[in-house]
Amino acid sequence: MASSPDKISPELPVVLILKPPEVFKVHEELFCQRFHFLRAWESTLPTDQFLTTYAQSIQALFCNSFTPIPAHVIRLLPSLRLIVTSSVGVNHIDLHECRRQGIKVANIAKVFTDDVADIAVGLLIDVLRKVSAGDQYVRSGSRIWSDFPLGYKLGGKRVGIVGLGSIGLEVAKRLEAFGCIVSYNSRMKKPSVPFLHYANVCELALNSDVLIICCSLTEQTYHMINREVLSALGKHGFIVNIARGSIVDEKELVRCLVQGEIGGAGLDVFADEPNVPDDLFELENVVLSPHRGVFTDETMWECYELVSGNLEAFFSNKPLLTMVHNDD
């Protein structure tokens, strides 16, 4: 049963939620057996007033990547000591302010790694082999199947991975099995991997048939995939983005797709979600996914256990399970 937003249960640890993360919606009943949630989104009070009202009771905050936690929110919560996010990335949290206030941050580490790697490969196969386009072609009632355009072979493709972290590495392993030639871009060369390293993402694009975006969104990676990179990828090149929409200059991407300056795209993320550029809807060489790459039944359970475990560790004064080391 939902906890009341205006009555704090003395029996359970209190946790603030500004907007409900997906895993909370899926496993709400189980969460509420272990914690008392202050539900800001259900209150008739303006958010800042709600936070001020309960500020002294809030030691922990639970969020996801779609809920920004800026400095001004943190400053309204003087008792806050923990932020748990049900995402890998933490760019939506003001880490500098957390460090200044002595607030710990925990994420869900590698829980989503396999699922995101799977969706990246799935989007690539779909856009190359025209799976979604073929589905629509058959559903349209066409009986002249020989007119459906040819797709492209996956094996032998030169795939450049932007960001060879845990997700990028799993993508690389999967594509190696398909016979792809993998290279990557990252800030530092990784001696433990056999793939060719490019320090410059434009050079990576120039030597790739496919770019798969797996890096985190930071000030340095914002619009990193720009006109120059897309031009280097070329009209026969494909791009898959399962990271963050704003890593790509979306307006430039749409222009290149519409004008045929790149071959196609598989996109699970967008710059202004849930808004998607209208021009993309008309393109058969673009596969669109509603940023659901991480959401499987199995992973939602793992996420629930990890979020709950971090919260219980905090309230029991034990080490966090997946603490983010905030050294900025």
274: cis peptide before it, omega within 30°?
A: yes
Q: Which of 100, 236, 273, 292 is catalytic?
A: 273
Tokens describing residue 231:
């031009």
The pLDDT tens digits for 248-273 are 999 999 999 999 999 999 999 999 99
Residue type, 255: R
Q: Cα–Cα distances in Å, from 292 out to 22, 123, 316?
A: 10, 12, 33
Task: Give yes or no: 273 in active site.
Answer: yes
What is the number of other CB atoms lying within 10 angstroms of the CB of residue 230? 23
Residue type, 173: K
E strands, 110-170, are: 158-162
* Average pLDDT rounded to a whole number, residues 304-321: 97
Q: What is the mean pLDDT of the chain?
A: 94
For residue 312, is pLDDT > 70?
yes
Same fold flag, 14-111+297-315 and 113-288:
yes
Specify the fold of 14-111+297-315.
Rossmann fold (3.40.50)
Superfamily of domain 113-288: NAD(P)-binding Rossmann-like Domain (3.40.50.720)
Tell me, what's the pLDDT at 5? 47
Q: Which of 174, 250, 252, 291 is catalytic?
A: 291
Tell me, what's the pLDDT at 2? 41
Task: Give yes or no: 81 in active site.
Answer: no
Measured CA to CA, the distance from residue 172 to residue 154 in angstroms comes to: 13
For residue 18, is pLDDT > 80?
yes
Q: Which of 39, 170, 174, 244 is catalytic?
A: 244
Residue ranges of domains in the chain: 14-111+297-315, 113-288
What is the number of other CB atoms lying within 10 angstroms of the CB of residue 22? 16
Cα 32 to its chain centre, rounded Å, is: 26
Measured CA to CA, the distance from residue 259 to residue 261 in angstroms comes to: 6
* Average pLDDT rounded to a whole number, residues 109-136: 96
